[in-house]
Amino acid sequence: MSLPTLLSQHIVRRPQRIALLQHIAEQGSITRAAKSAGLSYKAAWDAIDELNNLAQKPLVERSVGGKGGGGARLSAEGERVLRLYQKLQALQAQVLEAAEDASDLELLGRLMLRTSARNQLHGKVIAIEAQGRNDRITLALAEGLRIDAQITHDSTLRLELEPNTEVVALIKAGWLEILAENESATAGNNCLSGTLEDILDADDGPSEVRITLPNGQTLCALAEPAHLNSHGLTAGLTVQVQFSPSNVLLGTPL
């Protein structure tokens, strides 16, 4: 699945998220960009995390102490994608004019992937290991990071997976476990190190925790405040995130 394919799906289903790139370029502040795009501050950062995770390189770079709070600017890759978006806007207008019936657009919409999984990571299959009726699929993420997914062999065949197949790995936030830097992960689990960027406390229930990986991709996890406190986990620390390969779902284009 190429970057243009991934982003074109987002343009059809969620144009606000791609258009946010243009607002960031114009405003130079995530707070003002979110307001200009009609998004909440949290929704804007959720959109940025999702776009960065789906791209090979981060599209938006964070800066501390930006004007208006929560500074952000487009990377060179982000500027390139913004130019692509502007071209696709013109093409989209032509498609709307050419559509014979509104149902044509509704059909296209139903064919696009939508998921409740907070973590969507773009990767490429580099190995497939048979394990009885299951296969262990090793994925290469950006900048050399790797994770494993465990799916049935039937799913491997149905998705037509083979080395170099591009996929999106989907991981629900509740399936991630945050560990301190010096804790040992469970054998057989995926374990990624990253920086704990932010903790968003909820009035009732687990906190939402954002972890930035060395490659610029971001993971969103859920953790009980008591767990964070007992392990001394606060923003700025290096932490580990572990999750079972069986909790990694894979998606490919239709």
pLDDT, tens digit, 9 for 90 and up, residues 78-95 = 898 888 877 766 666 665
Name the residue type at position 157.
L
Residues 9 and 97 in one domain: yes
Residues 104 and 13 in one domain: yes
Residues 150 and 192 in one domain: no
Residue 207: domain span: 173-243
Residues 66 and 161 in one domain: no
Last residue in a domain, options 74, 91, 110: 110
Give 72's pLDDT tier (boundaries 50, 70, 90).
confident
Q: CA angle, 45 as apex, 25 and 208 as ends, to 5°?
A: 170
Residues 214 and 129 in one domain: no
Q: Which residues of 138-151 are buried (b: 16+ CB within 10 A; e: fewer)?
A: bbebbeebebbbbb
Residues 32 and 56 in one domain: yes
Name the residue type at position 47.
A
Which CATH number characterizes residue 14's domain? 1.10.10.10
The pLDDT of residue 117: 76
Mean pLDDT of the chain: 83
Last residue in a domain, options 70, 91, 110: 110
Domain count of the fold of the chain: 3
Residues 131 and 101 in one domain: no
Contact 39/80 with Cβ under 8 angstroms?
no
Residues 35 and 73 in one domain: yes
The pTM score is: 0.66
Whether pLDDT at 3 is above 50:
no
Last residue in a domain, options 85, 110, 135: 110
Residues 159 and 177 in one domain: no
Contact 221/173 with Cβ under 8 angstroms?
yes
Residues 23 and 62 in one domain: yes
Residues 187 and 150 in one domain: no
Residues 133 and 159 in one domain: yes
**Range among 7-11, 51-55, 85-89, 131-135 with highest mean pLDDT value:** 131-135
Which CATH number characterizes residue 128's domain? 2.40.50.100
Comparing CA positions, the residue from 51, 19, 60 lying closest to residue 168 is 51
